[in-house]
A and B are shown apart, each in its own frame.
Chain A
Amino acid sequence: MLEINDLTVKYQTPRGALPVLEGINLTARKGEVLGIVGESGSGKTSLALAITGLSEGRLEGSVQFQGEELLGKSREEWERLRGSTLSIVMQQAGEMLTPVLPLIEQVMEPFLKKHPRQKDEAFRRASAMLHKVGLEEHSFYRYPYTLSGGEVQRALLAMALIAEPELLILDEPVSSLDALSKADILTLLEELTGECTVLVISHDLSTIARLADRAAVLYCGSVLETGPTASLLQAPRHPYTRALVRSYPSLYGLKELQGIRGEFPSLGERPGGCPFHTRCTQALEICAQQRPGTVEKEGGRNLACHRGGVVELLRGSGLKQRYALKGKGKDPYLEAVRGIDISLDEGEVYALVGESGSGKSTLGRMLAGVDRPYAGTVSFQGQGFFQLSPAETKKAKRDLQMLFQNSGEALSHRMTVHELVAEPLFIQEVGDPQTRREAVRRALRWVYLPDDEHFLNEYPHHLSGGELQRVALARALVLEPKVLIADEPSASLDASVQAKVIKLLLQLQNERGFALILITHDLALAARAGDRVGVMHEGKIVEEGPAADILRRPLHPYTQSLLGAAPSIGGANLAATGMPSPAEPAVAAAEGPNGKPACSFSPDCAHSCEECFRYVPPLVRVGFQKVACYRYA
Chain B
Amino acid sequence: MNKRLLDYLLALLIILTLNFMLPRLMPGEPITAIYGDALVEMTPEMKSHLLERYGLDRPLGEQFAVYMGNLFQGDLGYSYYFRAPVAQVISGALPWTLLLAGTSLLFSTFLGIVWGVEAGWRRGRKFDRASLVTAMLLNGVPGFVLGILLLLFLGFYLQWFPLSGGASPYLGQEGIARAADILRHLFLPALTLTLVQLPRNFLLMRSSLLGVKERPYVMTARGKGLRERVVRYRHAVRGALPPVVTRVGMSAGLLFTGVFFVEVVFAYPGLGHLFYLALQHHDYPTVHGCLLLITVCVLLFNFAADLFSIKLDPRLRENARQLLGRT
Contact = CB atoms under 8 A, between A and B. Distances in A.
Interface of A: 52, 54, 75, 78-84, 87-88, 90, 92-101, 109-110, 113, 143-146, 156, 159-160, 163
A80 B225 contact: yes
Contacts of B228: 75, 79
29 contacts: A54-B222, A82-B223, A82-B225, A83-B224, A84-B225, A87-B223, A90-B223, A94-B215, A95-B216, A97-B220, A98-B217, A98-B220, A98-B234, A99-B217, A99-B314, A99-B315, A100-B238, A100-B239, A100-B313, A100-B314, A100-B315, A109-B224, A110-B224, A113-B230, A143-B314, A145-B314, A145-B315, A160-B224, A163-B224
A412 B238 CA distance: 81
Residue of B225, B227, B234 most packed against chain A (CB within 10 A): B225
Given A110-B225, A159-B220, 8 more contacts: A79-B225, A79-B226, A93-B216, A96-B217, A98-B239, A99-B239, A145-B314, A163-B224
Interface string B291-326: 000000000000000000000111100100000000
A425 B98 CA distance: 97
B195 to A, nearest CB: 31
A87 to B, nearest CB: 7
A156 B220 CA distance: 9
A97 B217 contact: yes
Contacts of A81: 225
B314 A88 contact: no
B238 A98 contact: yes
Contact of A88 (B215, B223, B226): B223
B12 interface: no
Interface of B: 215-217, 219-228, 230, 234-235, 238-239, 312-315, 318
Contacts of A75: 228
Closest 6 pairs between A and B when the two form their complex, measured CB to CB: A83-B225, A82-B225, A83-B224, A93-B216, A143-B314, A98-B217
A527 B224 CA distance: 48
Majority secondary structure of chain B interface residues (helix, strand, loop or mixed) = helix
A37 B212 CA distance: 31
A436 B135 CA distance: 73
Nearest to B240: A100
Contacts of B225: 78-84, 110, 113, 163
A472 to B, nearest CB: 56
A84 B314 CA distance: 30
Contact of A98 (B227, B235, B312): B235
A98 B235 CA distance: 6
Nearest to B219: A90
Contact of A113 (B216, B222, B226, B239): B226
A144 B225 CA distance: 20
A95 B219 contact: no
A97 B314 CA distance: 14
Contacts of A84: 225
Contacts of B234: 98, 101
A113 B234 CA distance: 13
A78 B224 CA distance: 10
A75 B221 CA distance: 14
Nearest to B221: A98
A96 B315 contact: no
B224 A96 contact: no
Contacts of B227: 79, 113
Given A99-B239, A100-B238, A90 B315 contact: no
A159 B219 contact: no
Contacts of B312: 100
Nearest to A84: B225
Nearest to B314: A143
Nearest to A143: B314
Contacts of A96: 216-217, 220
A83 B220 contact: no
A404 B238 CA distance: 73
Nearest to A142: B314
A394 B42 CA distance: 127
B266 to A, nearest CB: 40
